[in-house]
């Protein structure tokens, strides 16, 4: 059987519509389950809380290697014995507006580009040390307005 004319055009159009509809439903072609579109659910009262305690800093955003590098840099600044007692006050992923990592130094120029990295704040004997790290792993202490190492 050979189709021609308007009937052939209708069959081709029907095939194209079916192909497009299949492409829009995803690779499985099955509709989403009602549970996935029901929105957020609240945890049951018996479920353990996944929120950290208020006294513990959130460190999951910072890779362990970056935390270790920040502590090593702190040890180089204040000494290994003092750094051994350092407490992490905060540790988070940050995007800074330029390559200074939010810690510009006098008479320096920085690339004006969003720079992802990490901020780790340690406390030792009541003094806080603000450490900044790039995604590549470079770590420095941040004392705005004061040259690093000075």
Specify the pLDDT at position 60: 75
Instruction: Give tens-digit pLDDT for 55-69.
Output: 566 567 899 999 999
- Short-list 96, 13, 24, 89, CA closest to 57: 89
Structure tokens at 117: 């990295």
Model confidence over 98-145: pLDDT tens digits? 999 999 988 999 999 999 999 999 999 999 999 999 998 899 999 865
Largest CA-CA distance found in the chain, in angstroms, rounded: 90
C-alpha distances (whole Å) from 5 to each of 15, 16, 18 are 16, 17, 20
Q: What is the pLDDT of residue 77?
A: 92
| pLDDT at site 61 | 87
Nearest Cα to Cα of residue 88 among 142, 63, 124: 124
Say what the pLDDT of residue 4 is.
56
Q: What DSSP string describes the chain?
A: ----THHHHHHHHHHHHHHHHHHHT-SS-PPPPGGGGS---PPPTTSPP-SPPTTS---TTS-HHHHHHHHHHHHHHH-HHHHHT-EEEEEEEEEESSTTTT---TT-----S-EEEEEEEEEETTEEEEEEEETT--EEE--TTS-TT-
Q: What is the tens place of the pLDDT at every residue in 19-74?
A: 434 444 444 444 444 444 444 444 444 545 555 445 566 567 899 999 999 999 99
- Can you give the pLDDT at residue 9? 52
Look at 83 and 19; give whichever has higher pLDDT.
83
């Amino acid at each position: 059987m050979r189709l021609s004319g308007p009937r052939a055009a209708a069959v081709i159009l029907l095939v194209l519509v079916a192909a497009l509809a299949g492409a829009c439903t995803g690779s499985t072609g099955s509709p989403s389950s009602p549970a996935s579109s029901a929105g957020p659910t609240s945890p049951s009262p018996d479920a353990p809380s996944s929120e950290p305690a208020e006294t513990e800093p959130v460190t999951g955003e910072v890779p362990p290697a970056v935390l270790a590098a920040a502590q090593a840099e702190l040890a180089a600044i204040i000494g290994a014995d003092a750094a051994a007692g350092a407490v992490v006050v905060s540790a988070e992923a940050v995007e800074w507006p330029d390559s200074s990592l939010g810690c510009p130094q006098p008479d320096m120029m920085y690339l004006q580009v969003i720079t992802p990295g990490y901020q780790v704040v340690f406390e030792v004997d009541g003094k806080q040390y603000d450490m900044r790290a790039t995604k590549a792993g470079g770590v420095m202490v941040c004392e705005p307005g004061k040259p690093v190492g000075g």
